Structure 1
Amino acid sequence: MNVALRFDPVRLPDHCQDLRQEVRDFLREQVVQGVYDPTARSHGYEDICRFAKAVSERGWIGMAWPREYGGQERSFLERYVVSEEMLVARAPTRRYFVADRQSGPTLIRYASEPIKQRVLPQIIAGEAMFCIGMSEPNSGSDLFAAQAKATKVDGGWRLNGAKIWTTGAQHADYMIGLFRTSQPTRENRRHGLTSFLVDMHADGIKVSPIEMINGVMEFNEVLFDDVFLPDENVIGEIDGAWKQATSELAYERSGPERFLETFGAMRAFLTAVEGTDDTRLQEGLGRLIAQLHTMRRMSVSVAGMLEAGREPVTEASIVKDLGTVWDQALPKELRTLISLMDYDQYDVQAYRERMDFYTRMAPKLTIQGGTTEILRGIVARGLGLR
């Protein structure tokens, strides 16, 4: 069996560390100016838009894109540093994050030139929010089973069907959606899927937010009722979008967001136990930090592969699987450690409030971006086991 799996040891160069300090200073200014509150359960839409404009002015949206489309052709490693600092500081990046991470690169690679010229500058300016339309109510993360249809008509296509667990759809301007344009064949179950750029303001689209148990409405169900799209909105090859989709997911599944979503719980824990000399707490915390460091090294390695022009689909799936399982379990691990504390010695009230939020958030983590079962199937295929 020939296994091509590898994680090269990649170190962030010195100029990335200089950039890290620049981002930290910027975020500190944003908090002082009241643009956002890093302890808030969620951020208002106006604050999200205001923050996106400020990030755009710094040149940190599309920073790794070609200059011909408004990018700066900076490295994936530099982008990684910016993303990491934003996540740790709980910055309100929702307005531009998906577009910067994966939708923009997908358009650059596969979209028609009129679409590139019209849409990419909107992303760079922090004025276009994207969502991803893949999962469906009756098939979940099994994209081969997608049934939402795109039917060819004069001058374009008509969309009908539904997508679900669509993050940010209620505020999105565009969706990159996967629709069935013909039936799969016996020889190729992947055949028949096509990617489209969907204008989320088009007639016939209905978005229904799904409230999570922590009170945040992040996911949505999106219904398409005879939605018209012009021909230029086809992204890439008709009936051959599966390779595009897997390439796109390499961007989505490998970043620091896959193991830093509940990091705020650890920060609250560190504040609660500051100055402790309890060896049990120190040992438990050290173990968690060592695990976090390992996943970060793997994630940085994938960023290095993307920088080199590779498509590390299997490696990205491993990062996503390990990262989200760890991220999901972190609140429980911290609750176990906090039970060892002397409550008379430490103030744990603020910690309890943050822990409640992250505990309620955690269940979604192994669903978004592909379930653990789907990811492990991809890894098995990459290792030649299926």
Structure 2
Amino acid sequence: MDEYLLTEREGPVLVITLNRPHRRNAIDLPTADALAAALDELDGDPELRAAVLTGSGSTFCAGMDLKAFAETGERPISASRGGLGIVGRPPTKPVVAGVMGHVLGGGFEIALACDLIVAAEGTTFGVPEVKRGPVAAGGGAVRLAQRLPHHLALQMLLTGEPLPHSACPRARDGQRSRPGRAGPGHGTRAGSSDRGQRPARCRRDQADRHRDPHPRQRYRPRPPGDDHRPCPRLARRPGGRSGLRREAPPYVGGTMTALREPAVSEALAATDPLRLEVRAFVDEERAAGRFAPIADARLAGWDEDFSRRLGERGWLGMTLPAEYGGHGRSALERFAVTEELLAAAAPVAAHWIADRQIGPSLLRFGTEEQRRMYLPGIARGEVYFGIGMSEPDSGSDLASVRTKGVRTDGGWLVTGTKVWTSGAHHAHAFFAPVRTAPLDTSHRHAGLSQLIVPLDSTGVTIRPIHLLTGEHHFNEVVPDEVFVPDSMVLGEVGRGWHRVTSELAFERSGPERFLSTYPLIAVLVDALAQRADRAGRRELRAPARPPRDAARHVARCRRLALVGCRPRCPGRPGQGHRGPVSRARSWPQADSLLDVEPDLDSDDPTRRLLAQAVLHTPGFTIRGGTNEILRGVVARGMGVR
């Protein structure tokens, strides 16, 4: 194997060593390809049963080699196994990560993609990229919540602070942390349970039982003949240990110490002054008659002046660096501002898409020219974007888009049709995945490119799509041989699918998924509290009644948004369904408890909001995939389809 990756066979075990100590074992493209080739060897050789992945020197892996990327522009993405040579498609046979020193960023993603983590004393884990706004995009945001207790995963994903190995829960009895190097014959030893007892991976010590809020979701023996029984959290991979039901692998090493006061609680409390500031601003705007609460205000409430006032207060582009007009604040602070604005049904539609996903995508994939062109205006609330993903007959199946880009001198001629583009009649531009290479039916996601298309370009036709309410924010956008210069390609040509899915990570994980009709829930609670009879108070107190049911749904979805979970993430297919469910349930609950008739033209906010919610509800079953599509995703994840 190449010098930057060493492999050695020790009986049925393949030992893989990252061998770039001068770069702290950071991964460049050749290393990613070499690691993928080693894992292919592991899967393809019947004499190999497992692998140990470790690093040379004092650090396991520093993640992506940013210096190499700056010099060559090549990302360490293997064609066969995805990012860093492992995180996209881990091997089917078990892999143990022997880690030491700093395990950060992409290095942590690599460790999380393994089946077991064996840590040396003094090891620290972390995802520091969240301090700059990005998410752990190699699967870490999903895998962390499966491998660590909920409060520790939240702490790491929201604060970016490193977690010492001493704060990680020890996985099994009989496993102890030892000073020195973590690897074959060193450090914590996996599976070192006492002889004659159950296998180590089927046991938890007593303290771990007390800490685990879901004791039934652990490794446990699978009954004979139960090969196809669905696992509650993660389907068993082919080639896994036949006597176990596949679950999220835990950390090994460290003590039983857990943080008594999770840092995330302190971080949330620290946003209270900011929340009060936003509430005071919203109350002032409402008192001045500048807006009235409406259902689905993030799409229907287009007010460019309101967006500019937010920009003046530094509440747009909050996580963007100051050099691009941003404010360098944390993702949690942005979450606090966003949540307060949505709960108040403020008119945020003008800046919504640009601030939520366009800015972070440009920061991550855009050229310096693109960043300078758009990011300062987004932070000021003066530049607005749409989304050009869906097409007729290409909604949930986004890989089937037929809008094409034909190569021409200096750029591309784009022709096709995009649909459901919110705000296109006001926006300056939109992101559009287009097919720039012929469709390969065996690799449908290949050949797509993400283009930035100015909506005032010659050849762009925008046609309105009116809602049942009569409102107009959806559009059909028809580009006909629209010229898009090479400078407006986002990232590399042909890598559009990666850009789209990264953009969706921002789109599908925010609080808007459950706050679209929150004003109606608030009105419902207020109306019941003001009722003179005792029945209203009983409705509020009853634990099984709709108001509390709605509150529980909102609280549950809020926790998901804080974690930043993707709706259709592997192993948790049901999460993508919760946002639409919570929104769709608010109006039947209000209708069943309040003796009022919906009326769009009423001066009564309860009747008006109820009518708006009823008429907006059909759209809730479409965004992010129809109910039928989402049920299919759930069924596939459960192994019943």
Aligned residue for 1:301? 563
Q: Structure 1: how far apart are the matches of 2:635 and 2:309?
A: 42
One of 326, 332, 343 as aligned partner of 2:588? 332
Deviations 1:119-157 (A, max 9, x none): 111111111111000010122221111001111100111
Contact 1:35 1:50 in 2 (8 A): no
Aligned residue for 1:60? 315
Note if 1:288 corresponds to 2:537: no
> CA offset at residue 238 of structure 1?
1.2
1:34-183 equivalence runs, <5 A: 34-38=289-293, 48-183=303-438
Q: Structure 1: how far apart are the matches of 2:310 and 2:413?
A: 36
Contact 1:205 1:223 in 2 (8 A): yes
Structure 1 residues 45 and 188, CA, compared in 2 at 3 Å: closer, same or farther?
closer
> CA offset at residue 295 of structure 1?
1.1
> CA offset at residue 383 of structure 1?
7.9
Deviations 1:319-344 (A, max 9, x none): 442111220122112212336x9xxx
Tell me the TM-score normalised to structure 1 length: 0.87
Deviations 1:163-183 (A, max 9, x none): 011111111111011111112
Gaps of at least 5 residues in structure 2 are 1-91, 93-114, 116-141, 155-263, 597-602
> CA offset at residue 373 of structure 1?
4.4
Deviations 1:243-272 (A, max 9, x none): 211111111111110011111221221232
Q: Structure 2: how far apart are the matches of 1:212 and 1:234?
A: 32
Q: Structure 2: how far apart are the matches of 1:219 and 1:270?
A: 31
Note if 1:362 corresponds to 2:617: yes
Q: Structure 2: how far apart are the matches of 1:291 and 1:249?
A: 23
> CA offset at residue 353 of structure 1?
2.8
Note if 1:6 corresponds to 2:262: no
> CA offset at residue 274 of structure 1?
2.0
Aligned residue for 1:344? none
Q: What is the number of residues matched between the two proteins?
A: 372
> CA offset at residue 290 of structure 1?
1.5
- SS state at 1:332 partner: helix
The one-letter code matched in structure 1 to 2:581 is: V
Q: Structure 2: how far apart are the matches of 1:83 and 1:282?
A: 29
Structure 1 residues 385 and 75, CA, compared in 2 at 3 Å: closer, same or farther?
farther
Q: Structure 2: how far apart are the matches of 1:141 and 1:217?
A: 23
Structure 1 residues 239 and 375, CA, compared in 2 at 3 Å: closer, same or farther?
farther
Contact 1:36 1:47 in 2 (8 A): no
The one-letter code matched in structure 2 to 1:334 is: A
One of 487, 503, 520 as aligned partner of 1:265? 520
Structure 1 residues 87 and 200, CA, compared in 2 at 3 Å: closer, same or farther?
same
Tell me the TM-score normalised to structure 2 length: 0.54
Deviations 1:216-256 (A, max 9, x none): 11211111111111110000121221121111111111111
Larger radius of gyration: 2
The one-letter code matched in structure 2 to 1:289 is: A
Aligned residue for 1:308? none
Q: Structure 1: how far apart are the matches of 2:582 and 2:301?
A: 32
- SS state at 1:335 partner: helix
Structure 1 residues 44 and 218, CA, compared in 2 at 3 Å: closer, same or farther?
closer
Deviations 1:299-333 (A, max 9, x none): 1121xx7xxxxx88618975442111220122112
Aligned residue for 2:164? none
Q: Percent identity?
A: 37
Q: Structure 1: how far apart are the matches of 2:567 and 2:576?
A: 12
One of 304, 321, 324 as aligned partner of 2:577? 321
The one-letter code matched in structure 1 to 2:310 is: V
Q: Structure 1: how far apart are the matches of 2:430 and 2:484?
A: 12
Gaps of at least 5 residues in structure 1 are 306-310, 342-347
Q: Structure 1: how far apart are the matches of 2:322 and 2:638?
A: 37
The one-letter code matched in structure 2 to 1:231 is: D
Structure 1 residues 20 and 380, CA, compared in 2 at 3 Å: closer, same or farther?
farther
- SS state at 1:140 partner: coil
Structure 1 residues 184 and 370, CA, compared in 2 at 3 Å: closer, same or farther?
same
